[in-house]
Amino acid sequence: MFRSLLIANRGEIACRVMRTARAMGIRTIAVYSDADRDSLHVAMADAAYRIGEAAPRASYLRIEAILDAARASGAEAIHPGYGFLSENAAFAEACVQAGIVFVGPPAAAIRAMGDKASSKALMQQAGVPVVPGYHGEEQDPALLAREAAVIGFPLLIKASAGGGGKGMRVVRGADEFAAALAGAQGEAASSFGDARVLLERYLEKPRHIEIQVFADTHGRCVSLFERDCSVQRRHQKVLEEAPAPGIAPTMRAAMGEAAIAAARAVGYVGAGTVEFIAEDGAFFFMEMNTRLQVEHPVTEGVTGLDLVEWQLRVACGQDLPQAPAAPRGHAIEARLYAEDPASNYLPSVGRIRHLRLPRGVRVETGVRAGDAVTPDYDPMIAKLIATGEDRAAALRQLEAALAATEVVGVRTNAALLLGTLRHPKFRAGGVDTGFLARHPELLADSGEAPHDAVLAAALAVLAETAEDASPWSARDGWLLNLPAARRLALRHAGTEIAIDAAPECDAWRVAFAGKEHIVRGTLGDGTVTVATDGRRQRMGVFREGARIAILRDGRCHDFELANLLAAPETAGEAGGHIASPIPGRVARVLVTEGDAVARGAPVVVVEAMKMELTLTADRDGTITHIRCAAGEMVAEGVELVEIAD
């Protein structure tokens, strides 16, 4: 076994690899960008080396910088994690040429499976079923349009050189094809440096089932069973579980055999995942991820294995350990992202002011309270993995874990995950990849604060100030000889909530929004318990100056205690100004000054967090000013385009 390991990655996967390496007595070495100087994976490592600026192209994608760090640190092996250079054949070759062990498959296998078009042809030769489509090298838009017509609609455009939902578009009619093709090619070029795409028949209600395979250098290859990854947004997974609900043993065996055949066809070594789509009892090869997957913990949960340890042992030339004959129990993983599902999953950037992750389940994370979510990297905060003797037990564990999770400072998808776990169709098992799209109610967020959250925020203020009851200490406009009452003003989502509160024995009489409540409660360590209207509820509370966050069931309700003596703010004129909702890079400007546009027309495409966001006109009008250019980095809130009525 080698003595030192450099992890060419960041965040939770770097931390995950370090834990296993440390348990095996291996010295760990981190690399970091300027944005990650104080990150958790750097703090965990035995040594750390700077490799460049924040942008991945200037740091985590710089092969020579990573190899320089490996040489300087004396690393004997490099683990690529997932993403970044993990499926880069040139990186695998460069490691070997530098005399450093690459913890992954041979470069030839990465190259064979990295091109989705050629890999489909290879799979057909190996007898693995594939989805009908166009996988050719010719990329002329006119030819692709003709091929699309032959395949028929709906169809799927996919980046040939990548994965993770980047460069992927569903096209339902010929009139949509040209725009979808341009968008997919642009995103593919930006994410993978390769604009080539392939076309496939789009299955309307497929399940995403993948098989974990492992192969050693002695010719042995095994299947470690399947994972169901059908709950997705933007073609990226958010919930994964093993084993897949409702999969017959015969189908499991057939998919396992097909996955092993796929791995053998490219001379595979190490951990890999063969992804299939399944519908009506049939399954088709999609792609092979030649690396460890984000969702590998659910396989570990039902096999009792440490897949990173297997990777390290195989990389040293050792034989594969004995694999279990069948999965045991059930495991399910939820990906907690900094994003706003109600706003088309727009990434949420900012500093994590408060973070409380649950106990009782496995938690994989690379962030701490005080860390920032930046537009440079994937916005995943943590993975929560629950296991149980059966699926129902695992679901109960994960539901409780998500309900106890608290994040303040950025929006998250925790409420969406909870709603999905509680949905009767998901609980019945066997949902398909269109589940979230068909249930928009799971994304809904009225923006209004529930009454109990308002009461909890008011109680947090009242209870905190109750010890100092002197009216001379108050800054709430108290006047002599008037009733002993408090007036509070809480701002929430741009709306001010006026609250009148008066002490009444051991309670408070609280009135707002035309209703009066008798409220009793206590303020504990990070919690507030509210008893009113015959109900008693405990919620999380985080206070930071005038800002109060009330947390419950995956949602964070942010309030600000207003100064009643301050002069009122003057609202500015809204509309007609298209601003970037997040920091990012302007990928394309789709209009010129003087153009007439209709409401909803695309005007600018901004790239951030490995995805493209198309900003649209908010009215019918004329483009009067363009204040950005393609390739320019822009901050959140910066005006990009002005439209006159």
Architecture of domain 4-103: 3-Layer(aba) Sandwich (3.40)
pLDDT at 482: 55
Amino acid at residue number 422: R
User: Using one digit for the tens of pLDDT, what is the confidence trace for 537-562?
Assistant: 999 999 998 999 999 999 999 999 98
The CATH number assigned to the domain with range 451-561 reads: 3.30.700.30
Q: Which residues are annotated as catalytic?
A: 291
Q: 71 CB contacts (<8 Å, ≥6 apart)?
A: 98
- SS3 sequence of 350-397: EECCEEECCCCCEEEECCCCCCEECCCCCCEEEEEEEEECCHHHHHHH
Q: Model confidence at 188, in pLDDT bands (50, 70, 90)?
A: confident
pLDDT of residue 592: 93
Q: What is the pLDDT of residues 325-372, one digit of tens each?
A: 999 999 999 999 999 998 888 889 889 999 999 999 999 999 999 999
Compare 499 and 569 and report the one with higher pLDDT: 499
Predicted structure pTM score: 0.84
| Rounded distance between C-alpha atoms, residue 612 and residue 581, angstroms | 12
Residue 213: pLDDT band with limits 50, 70, 90: very high
SS3 content of the chain, % helix, strand, coil (to 5): 30, 35, 40
Residue 5: which of 232, 421, 308 has the closest Cα?
308
Find all residues with CB under 8 Å of 257, minimum gap 6, and list them.
223
Q: What is the pLDDT of residue 574?
A: 47
Q: Alpha helix locations (H) across 516-623?
A: none
The reply to whether omega before 243 is within 30° of 0 (cis) is: yes
Q: Where in the chain is the domain with CATH 3.40.50.20?
A: 4-103
Where does CATH 2.40.50.100 sit in the chain?
Answer: 577-644
Place of tokens 């055999």: 257
Strand, coil or helix: 437? helix
d(CA 289, CA 81): 12
Q: With contact defined as beta carbons under 8 Å apart, do 202 and 170 qualify?
A: yes
- Please give the Cα distance from 586 to 27 (Å, whole number): 41
Rounded CA-CA distance 62/84 in Å is 10
604: which strand partners?
589, 615
Give me the phi and psi of 217, to 5 degrees please. -80, 0
The CATH architecture annotation of domain 132-201 reads: 2-Layer Sandwich (3.30)
Strands 495-504, 507-512: pairing kind = antiparallel
> What top-level class would CATH report for the domain 577-644?
mainly beta
Q: Tell me which fold the domain 329-445 belongs to.
A: D-amino Acid Aminotransferase; Chain A, domain 1 (3.30.470)
Task: Report which residue type is found at 33.
Answer: S
Q: Helix, strand or coil for residue 532?
A: strand
Residue of 220, 554, 189 whose CA lies nearest to 382: 554
Return the biggest CA–CA distance within the chain.
Answer: 91
